Structure 1
Amino acid sequence: MPDTTVPDTAGGDTVPQTYPEISVVVATRDRPGLLERAVASILGQDYPGRIECIVVYDHVDVRELDVPAGPDRSLKLIANTHRQGLPGGRNSGVEAATGELLAFCDDDDIWLPTKLSRQAERLADPAIGAVSCGLRLRGPGIDKERVLDRDLVVLDELLADRVMEVHSSTMLVRRSTWAAAGEVDEDIPGGYSEDYEWLLRVSAHTPIAVVREALVVVDWHGGSFYFGRWATIVEAQRYLIDKHPELARSRAGMARLRGQIAFALASGHRRTEAVKELAAVVRLNPREKRVLVTVPVILGLMTGERVLRMAQKRGKGI
């Protein structure tokens, strides 16, 4: 690990300060231009320690990248040896990682130069095993910051709400946290909500510290990858509920998840099932906002795709 010297405030001498090596995993498939932009933002961090960027190609040919690494920076290109999909790609990357700290970046997102240094400061506290930061949503018609007004996120908060600001591209965790929480779940249908499912396990092990700055730019397309994949969303959310019985501790949180199921059922033209699911949502939380957006879809007044696009323009999802 690189050493720097800092003043010893007690005696005036200097003492060595070490910076843990950070491994950053970027799972990708076929977005070379966006990928090079993401990798450049990782290797361009002002963090004084070593940074290892591991790009994992998801069952496509490994391609060389024209991104300079620089001192104390390395770029490793590997193939996904796990199940095809984002969870398998991230797990393959961590297996190849050598760093004491682990981070993830989506291949279409950008890190501001101070991200890792600001987050590593928070991990100096041994009681903290993971740290997030704020983000900026940037895309067609939107440029919006999302920054939390608190310094910690705990499990009960994630049970009640997804907490969008705790995004996969914002996370920096100790390797011990990864070991305690376990790999990203490769069995979750379609990889949908894989990041949220993993965060539930992380927050059961450690509070997640928050740097109150927008240090990640998210290329906001609002999850359009899932347009039309309504059956997958239904299966994934039911899988999540079955795997995490602790979700039942929050009526609001359960209403949110079942509201998403009802919306996906309605969008997939499974209206009878959607009505039954929506009735359960109302019993859990009559104020759940997904009731209002699901009813027009059930009635055939709007499509689920149109509702989702309207939400995305406001920087939100369903």
Structure 2
Amino acid sequence: MQCSLSECFVVNRVPVHALEAQRWPTVTDQQGVHAPSVSVVIATRGRPEMLRAAVKGVLGQDYAGAIDLTVVFDRIEIDLLEDIVIPEGQRRLQTLANTRSPGLAGGRNTGILASDGELIAFCDDDDEWLPSKLERQMSLWREDPAAVLISTGIRIATAGRLVDRLPPDRTEFSDLLKSRVTEIHPSSFLIRRSDVTGVLGLVDEDLPASYGEDYDYLLRAARVGHLRGVQDSLVVVHWNRTSFFDGKWQGIIDGLSYLLNKHPEFSESPKGSARIEGQIAFAWAALGRRAEARSWAARTINHDRSQLRAYAALAIAAHLVPAGPLVRAVNRSGRGL
């Protein structure tokens, strides 16, 4: 069953107005420890089969606390997901339209503002949580309550193989300047709502094409405090599919340029600057803009002669190799551009 973007907003098959006064009851785990309610946001655009696997992974968590799942449909008709069986107990599913700016950032913010859990988590519509994800994250957070964000490892499914990538046990702001630390994947983020509505703020909707919105959020979080990572792969990330960013090189250029300007601390990290500049050089080369590619490659090498993206951009600009096979080769290794 589908409905128009303006009229459809249901929770557990019940119109949302009937649940406006509902608040989650206090829940404790088997040890008598408070299990905070978790609001999970999935922003989606046109991957119905993968979306259903993502939804089932969220609702099937081995977690004592309440899970409030919001699926936000971005510029497409809302799917009520009526074929999804919602487990009994503290589980809730709502579907609604993105009411903010088009794209991933607006979709995530729509879900955040439409939910009320004590904690907030994201899951991409083509990823899957393993059953113990939330419980393992909460266990780590109880050990280190000062942490601002808790992530987990990821299991990348790509080109017929699985690649496990584990985040650092602890990540600081300086670490994220030097490296994106791609092992900290947005589908594993767990954050306090009080931080999102307070010191951190919502996802940046001004970021062009929403490219790099997860990296921007990590930088903002790490300015406030340290991040921790569960040392186990508890999220399956599917790379054997088409990404919404595949081939959209101008959006990548604009998004990364925005991040360089937004975070002036990159000027103090030559390697960190070079990493992003090399990505921009690569994207210009993929667009066939040879002069821009060479300019950004030179800027990259000036900051870090070991940055391979600069040399890849020069090779593409010189028509020695096409961009597509290089990107696919990197993806097969479980890493991105």
The equivalent of 1:25 in structure 2 is 41
Q: Relative to 1, partners in 2 of residues 1:162 and 1:101: Cα closer, same or farther, differing over 3 Å?
A: same
Aligned-partner residue type, residue 298 of structure 1: A
Q: Residue in 2 aligned with 1:77?
A: 95
Q: Which residue pairs with 1:11 in the alignment?
A: none
SS at match of 1:214: strand
Residue 53 (1) aligns with residue 69 (2): yes
- Paired residues of 2:298 and 2:310 also in contact (CA < 8 A): no
Check conservation: 1:4, 1:18, Cα contact below 8 A. Answer: yes
1:121 aligned counterpart, secondary structure: helix
Preserved CA contact (<8 Å) 2:294 2:313: no
- C-alpha separation between the residues in 2 aligned to 1:5 and 1:239? 47
Distance 1:113 1:21 in 2: 16
Whether 2:201 is the aligned partner of 1:182: answer yes
AA partner of residue 194 (structure 2): S
- Please tell me whether the aligned partners of residues 49 and 72 of structure 1 are also in contact (alpha carbons under 8 angstroms): yes
Structure 2, unpaired ranges of 5+: 1-25
1:282 positional shift: 0.9
Note closer, same or farther for the CA distance 1:144–1:4 as it changes in structure 2 (3 Å cut). closer
Are 1:158 and 2:176 counterparts? yes
Q: How many Å apart are 1:222 and its aligned residue? A: 7.8
- Report the counterpart of residue 228 of structure 2 in structure 1: 209
Local SS of the residue matching 2:109: helix
Structure 1 residues 222 and 254: CA distance shift in structure 2, 3 A: farther
Find the aligned partners of 1:21 and 1:139 in 2 and give their Cα distance.
Answer: 33
Give the conservation status (yes or no) of the 8 Å contact 2:74–2:102: yes
TM-score (norm 2): 0.88
Q: CA deviation at 1:4?
A: 4.4
Measured after TM superposition, the shift of residue 181 of structure 1 is: 1.2
> Which of these residues, 92, 95, 118, is aligned with residue 100 of structure 1?
118
Amino acid at match of 2:112: V
CA RMSD after TM alignment: 1.4
Aligned to 2:237: 218
**C-alpha distance 267-213 of structure 1, shift in aligned 2 (>3 A):** same
Amino acid at match of 2:92: S
CA offsets per residue over residues 243-280 of structure 1, 9 Å max, x none? 11012221101000000111111111111111111111
Distance 1:175 1:283, change over 3 A: same
Find the aligned partners of 1:293 and 1:301 in 2 and give their Cα distance.
9
Letter in 1 for 2:245: Y
Contact 1:122 1:128 in 2 (8 A): no
Is 1:41 the counterpart of 2:57? The answer is yes
Query: Structure 1: where are the runs of 5+ without partners?
Result: 7-15
CA separation in 2, counterparts of 1:223 and 1:160?
28
Q: Is the 8 A contact 1:28 1:55 kept in 2?
A: yes
Structure 1 length-normalised TM: 0.93
| Equivalence for 2:145 | 126
- Is the Cα–Cα contact under 8 Å of residues 118 and 211 in structure 1 kept in the other structure? yes
